[in-house]
């Protein structure tokens, strides 16, 4: 059994709750589909916990923004978080993130952060069977959209987004992850202490705008996203 997490975004409270839930299943290993960095501020605590559990991390776009210093090209809000994370991140945290993989592939499954045309920054809001015919694997996992999804395609392939640990955007506030058990994928949700995270953000002088979305499971600003099947 494999536990698959994604899009933690510095939300240590959510990550702790997810690991507590994962422990009851005793998975062979845990893999993160990236974006440990970005948004909420406990980046060091999150990386320490991931290291403690020997988690394999795939490089996410926010991880890349942080370790490269490039910043996010499309969001001032994201860059505010990244600036603060760059200021507080330890060398150990940065070195661990820099070692993140581009993808994780076996004979049965393929995992990236974004999509298979652009592993770092492709959003799969629409999924169709033709997209995956070029690959031999049966199971495909990616994060990035923050929308928990499992789609059984008509070519006997399965696409799954485990959802976001740290900032769900599917209208559900609980942290999300997935389990891959032989030929079955289980989608999981876990309640966590949002108020505790909010106190950290308040202490860092962040306005309500930057965290009120967590109570509703949306983007910053209140938008709910979804992933659909693209029928051509």
Q: What is the pLDDT of residue 123?
A: 97
pTM over 0.75: yes
Q: What is the pLDDT of residue 176?
A: 98
Q: What is the pLDDT of residue 227?
A: 93
Q: What is the pLDDT of residue 182?
A: 84
Query: Which residues lie across from 189 on neighbouring strands?
Result: 176
Q: What is the DSSP letter of 205?
A: T
Spell out, as residue ranges, where the chain has pLDDT lower than 70. Answer: 231-232
Q: What is the pLDDT of residue 154?
A: 85
Q: Tokens 């893999």 map to which residue? A: 31
Domains and CATH numbers, the chain: 2-229 (3.60.21.10)
Q: What is the pLDDT of residue 74?
A: 87
DSSP per-residue codes, 2-22: EEEE---TT-HHHHHHHHHHH
Render the burial of 185-203: b for 16+ CB within 10 Å, e for the rest. Answer: beebbbebebeebbebbee
């Amino acid at each position: 059994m494999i536990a698959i997490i994604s899009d933690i975004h510095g939300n240590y409270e959510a990550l702790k709750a997810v690991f507590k839930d994962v422990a009851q299943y005793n998975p062979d290993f845990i893999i993160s589909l990236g974006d440990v960095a970005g948004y909420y501020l406990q980046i060091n605590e999150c990386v320490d916990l991931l290291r403690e559990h020997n988690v394999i991390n795939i490089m996410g776009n926010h991880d890349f923004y942080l370790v490269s210093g490039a910043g996010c090209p499309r969001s001032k809000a994201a860059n505010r978080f990244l600036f603060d994370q760059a200021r507080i991140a330890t060398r150990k945290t940065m070195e661990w993130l820099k070692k993140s993989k581009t993808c994780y592939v076996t004979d049965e499954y393929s995992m990236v952060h974004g999509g298979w045309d652009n592993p770092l920054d492709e959003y799969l809001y629409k999924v169709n069977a033709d997209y995956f015919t070029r690959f031999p694997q049966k199971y495909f996992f990616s994060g990035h959209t923050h929308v928990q999804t499992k789609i059984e395609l008509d070519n006997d392939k399965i696409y799954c987004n485990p959802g976001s640990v740290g900032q769900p955007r599917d209208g559900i506030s609980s942290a999300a992850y997935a389990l891959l058990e032989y030929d079955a994928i289980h989608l999981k949700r876990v309640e966590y202490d949002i108020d505790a995270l909010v106190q950290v953000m308040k202490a860092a002088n962040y306005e309500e705008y930057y965290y009120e979305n967590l109570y509703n499971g949306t983007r910053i600003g209140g938008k709910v996203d979804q992933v659909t099947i693209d029928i051509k």
